[in-house]
Structure 1
Amino acid sequence: MRWWSWQRCRTAADGIERTKEAPLQKSPVIVIGLDAFDPCTALGFAEDGQLPNIARLLENGARARVCNPFGLYVGAAWANFTTCLRPDRHGFHCWNRIEIETYRHRLSPPRFDGFPTFWKTVADSGRRVAIVDVPHARLEPGLNGVQVVEWGCHDRHWGLCSWPPGKAKEIVATIGTHPVLGIPAITHEDFAPDDYVHRAGALRTAQEEGKLLDGLIEGAAAKARLLSDLLADEEWDLVVGIFGEAHAGGHQLWHLHDHAHPRFDASVAERLGGDPILTLYRAVDAGVGEVVAKAGPDALICLLMSHGMGPHHDGVHMLDELLSRLDSHHFGSEGRRSVSASAPLRAAIPGLRRLASRLGVPLSIRERVGRLLDERTFSTARARQHYFLEPNNYVYGGIRLNLVGREPDGCVAPEDFDRVCAQLEEDLLELVNLDTGRPAVRAVIRSDTRHRRSPRDVMPDLFVDWNREAPIERVSSPKIGILHSPYDGWRTGDHRDDGLLIVHGRGFAAGSEYPDIDMEDIGASIAARFDVALGDIDGRPADWLARNHEKDPAACMSSAIPERRNPAQAL
């Protein structure tokens, strides 16, 4: 147990305010992040006794549902956590976007320019911090502590680096590189390594799936060792370490966990030793236990399951063609806005992509050809259309209107914005999944009802909430006819929105359930435990997490909790 004494001080320049007149009893805060570790699946495994360490934290700690930014959470969840901002402020929701000026696809690593991470502000207050593999986080030289970037992340942008600079080399020398998530990029650093490691063809063989699973299990054990070694180095004030293995395994191996998945194969699952998701979750659970044990009894443990995972059933792979057909139906008589001469090539591209994959054309060549086609074909079509697909990962489709005064070749007048959005909603809700006879789309939601917008942001204007109960490969409606576009990807799992935070330590009564917490509120709450205010952020400290209730745990439950907010109402 450590005691800290701080003099009264105020630092206006960096937005930090601290006031302390008496010694403060303080425990280290250890945040163990489980990236895309599905809470519902994990709770079921824990109840069955399969995850003993997580079950122990659940039994002896408190919990709260984590709410992620609607529609954008696949890319923005960890960005919200890092900056304590919402997507309209930090500006990142997808690794890929349409460049407004040219209508071309551009890789889009997060910048967060001018927005410090919450741990940097905590470190600037004099606390010692250790940060490992927070997805989408950039290196912060000069940090009061240690930071390791992308040793083992599903999401990558920068490559392995560290502060101090020699720390990364030390880790590689003692622990090695991550056997899956540390594999060098084939084309772009932004491409998730689990998409191409141990995959020679369009889909993995059973042997390749076994190699991938073994590598992820080995990686989870190595991550636990890395974090444990850091915890042994010194008495940190704040440690944040993220396990990325469940994210990678969920995308690649979900079909061998979900018995209802079209690609489920019991014989392959048996060759892998049973349910590979259970096997992988057990490995991560063992890593959690090792880190908790090394943290010691005085630590406050925050186990964060950022968001979930489920079957990869959506229609994003056909959304581009859907929008082209709808645009032609409604606006085909408007001359240059009609479907371009390149439409036949656009329609043929998915089949050509599948053929190239089956023929074993290297991914690097396919990627270069794809960029060339995008620049010469799709960008021209986007400039002609009244709306086009805005990359938003895959769970929620994204649609951007070609708006006069915002896009350079805009054709939707601002006064027609509402009408066009309403028409698109009607059109998409008419789509029928021919393989189930049920609607292909559950809802179409305007982003300005959920997020603050600005003229220069790159958000979609509309979110398409697919009916994800079954694969979507054949759809029809009176306006688009029949569209058959088989999903040709190798990912069989994709994200679900809600996360879970488990808190174990003094002042948190066993089994307590607390109000929902937004992802951007978590860092603000942790900083508040150190009496550090973060300045101009969107997140607000949740009283139950920010305050120390060691003497009266029940007081935490009765503390005032702000009502959940809809940020669009601020407009």
Structure 2
Amino acid sequence: MRALGASGPLRSDFVPYEAPGLFSAFTGFGPDEHGCFSYWDVHAPDYRPAVLDGSAARRPFLWRRPELTGRRVALVNLFGTHPVEPVDGYCLSYPMRATVQACHPRNLPVLLAREGVRPVHDVTVWFTGGPKDPFVGGVLNADRQRADAALAMLDGRVGDRPDLTVLNLTAIDRLSHVYWQETEPGSPVPEADQAVLRAYQLADRVLGQLLERLDDHTSLLAFSEIGFGPLRSYRSVNDALAAAGLLTLGPDGTPDWSRTTAFEAVQGAQGVNLNLAGRYRDGTVRPADRARVLADVAAVLEDHINPATGTRFLTRAIPREELHGGPAADAAPDLVLDPADWRYLPLGDPFWSGRTNRMLQSGWHRRDSYWAGAGAAFTAGRGGPARPLDVAPTLLAMLGLDPAADLPGTALTASALRPAPAGAS
């Protein structure tokens, strides 16, 4: 793709996490505009973060904007598309729990089955510490089936061809979390047997199949909203807060909210929340005291030493107001944590971090990734740095549509585009 078209680095949102990154890419706005900072809400009044879905978006996804009226879409495995809603085209949604209602139209699984394609959802292939081969095989099969579904839609084998096809492959992420250690120097696992390499090889084959479908009116954009790197361990921020007397545990080992000032936010948000009265059921911090208490908690966290390194755990504990100025900034944690050593990261809310088996992971996200584009909309050799929110205006340009004045991002395509005919994607 780099040889055929354009490419460059992509810098994630400040906290590299796929859920807000995908919302940024496909709404065209950052987290403080679209309001998604994790797979779960950051400020659950009863302290039990609920799973987010597409209704959480405070900005519309690209396919809901008036610019795409009359354009058919095919959406495959994209967070934010569940619960599934009718679209002009097809949708295989990204459900966060088991369901049989994850497609539009409802008979889409039947149409795909006739083509030998049987899509699998991520929630049905979950790592619990078992044998490697069945898990890796299940993850790779899920991506292969999703890719085959996207190709069947793109080729018009299940109905009218879409103008825009979006495919989200997750095997690289899923396997990098669990088997990153296989890629590090000194690993006893031969390269050919490394799970992460197999995920990249699958993605490469899918990109090859898509490149074969390029023509004078068809373009391809590939990107990752996050990068990846090694993880040594997660550190419980709640433990640091408890040691400073800012969080008190009850007899059952869970926080006694009536005696807690601050607590760790859910994973992905990478932050800490004040137990603010009026926001939480048992809030202890008066809104009038928020600024003073926030500064006290930040000072404690910035002095906290990581026992694994003997150095400070954080570069900074940043008040959300310094990072986020948009109308959805209230959905962010009160403090956003910037790790000093990205091999040691905040654990996240203990309820969900336990259920997602975080302590079994050896890899985690990074801020630096890539984008690459090939086909009619891209000029060979041209490229530059990008952000997730640049994806939406790029897709508009790939469709031959004028840039939307309200989108803050920049299209990554060539400067002069001719309109694409209906059916181009």
Bin for the TM-score computed over the shorter chain: 0.7 to 0.9
Matched, 1:339 2:248: yes
Contact 2:262–2:297 (Cα < 8 Å) also in 1? no
* Alignment CA distance shift 1:243-1:305 (3 Å): same
Name whichever of 128-137 and 168-177 sits farther off.
Answer: 168-177
Contact 1:526–1:546 (Cα < 8 Å) also in 2? no
- What does the per-residue CA deviation read over 1:133-190, in whole Å, with 9 as the maximum and x for residues that have no partner? 222323664422222213xx8x6686662222211232245334346x4564xxxxxx
* Alignment CA distance shift 1:322-1:172 (3 Å): farther
Matched, 1:527 2:396: yes
Matched, 1:311 2:243: no
Instruction: From 52, 75, 88, give the equivalent of 1:131.
Output: 75
- What does the per-residue CA deviation read over 1:112-145, in whole Å, with 9 as the maximum and x for residues that have no partner? 4674321233675222222212223236644222
Instruction: From 288, 291, 295, give the equivalent of 1:422.
Output: 295
Structure 2: unaligned runs, 5 residues or longer: 347-356, 419-425
Instruction: From 311, 330, 339, give the equivalent of 1:438.
Output: 311
2:88, 2:173 → 1: CA distance?
29
AA in 2 matched with 1:492: S
* Alignment CA distance shift 1:391-1:141 (3 Å): closer
- What does the per-residue CA deviation read over 1:265-306, in whole Å, with 9 as the maximum and x for residues that have no partner? 51xx24x84332122211210111012213445411111122
Note the 1:81-100 alignment, pairs <5 A: 81-97=25-41, 100=44
* Alignment CA distance shift 1:162-1:417 (3 Å): same
Name whichever of 161-170 and 285-294 sits farther off.
Answer: 161-170
Instruction: From 169, 172, 177, give the equivalent of 2:118.
Output: 177
2:308 partner SS: coil
Normalising by structure 1, we get a TM-score of 0.63
Say which one has the larger Rg: 1
2:9, 2:258 → 1: CA distance?
42
1:406, distance to aligned residue in structure 2 (A): 3.9
Contact 1:135–1:156 (Cα < 8 Å) also in 2? no
Matched, 1:283 2:227: no
Note the 1:353-502 alignment, pairs <5 A: 377-378=254-255, 381-393=256-268, 397-452=270-325, 457-468=330-341, 470-471=343-344, 489-502=359-372
- What does the per-residue CA deviation read over 1:30-57, in whole Å, with 9 as the maximum and x for residues that have no partner? xxxxxxxxxxxxxxxxxxxxxxxxxxx0
- What does the per-residue CA deviation read over 1:75-101, in whole Å, with 9 as the maximum and x for residues that have no partner? 311112232233233322222346543
1:326, distance to aligned residue in structure 2 (A): 1.7
Where does residue 221 of structure 1 map in the other structure?
Answer: 144
* Alignment CA distance shift 1:326-1:315 (3 Å): farther
Contact 1:96–1:107 (Cα < 8 Å) also in 2? yes
AA in 1 matched with 2:145: A
1:507, distance to aligned residue in structure 2 (A): 5.6
2:166 partner SS: strand
Matched, 1:241 2:167: yes
Matched, 1:195 2:114: no
1:141, 1:124 → 2: CA distance?
16
Matched, 1:505 2:375: yes
Contact 2:117–2:148 (Cα < 8 Å) also in 1? no
Instruction: From 535, 540, 545, give the equivalent of 2:408.
Output: 540
Name whichever of 160-169 and 454-463 sits farther off.
Answer: 454-463
* Alignment CA distance shift 1:543-1:88 (3 Å): closer
* Alignment CA distance shift 1:194-1:259 (3 Å): farther
AA in 2 matched with 1:503: G
1:235, distance to aligned residue in structure 2 (A): 4.5
1:109, distance to aligned residue in structure 2 (A): 3.1
Where does residue 422 of structure 2 map in the other structure?
Answer: none
Normalising by structure 2, we get a TM-score of 0.82
1:142, 1:74 → 2: CA distance?
24
Note the 1:35-46 alignment, pairs <5 A: none
Note the 1:202-217 alignment, pairs <5 A: 203-204=129-130, 208-217=131-140
- What does the per-residue CA deviation read over 1:529-554, in whole Å, with 9 as the maximum and x for residues that have no partner? 5436668x5x335255384357xxxx
1:247, distance to aligned residue in structure 2 (A): 1.6
1:513 partner SS: coil
* Alignment CA distance shift 1:123-1:470 (3 Å): closer
Normalized per residue, which structure has more helix? 1
Contact 2:377–2:414 (Cα < 8 Å) also in 1? no
* Alignment CA distance shift 1:489-1:137 (3 Å): same
2:51, 2:267 → 1: CA distance?
12
AA in 2 matched with 1:321: D
Quick one: percent identity of the two aligned structures?
Answer: 19
Which one has more relative contact order, counting CA pairs under 8 Å at least 6 apart? 2
Number of matched pairs: 404
Contact 2:219–2:377 (Cα < 8 Å) also in 1? no
1:495, distance to aligned residue in structure 2 (A): 1.1
Where does residue 323 of structure 1 map in the other structure?
Answer: 241
Q: Considering only aligned residues, what root-mean-square deviation do their CA atoms show, in Å?
A: 3.3
AA in 2 matched with 1:79: F
1:231, 1:240 → 2: CA distance?
10
1:435 partner SS: coil
Instruction: From 269, 274, 296, give the equivalent of 2:193.
Output: 274
Contact 1:313–1:471 (Cα < 8 Å) also in 2? yes
1:345, distance to aligned residue in structure 2 (A): 3.6
1:455, 1:134 → 2: CA distance?
21
1:285 partner SS: helix
1:220, 1:386 → 2: CA distance?
43
Matched, 1:111 2:20: no
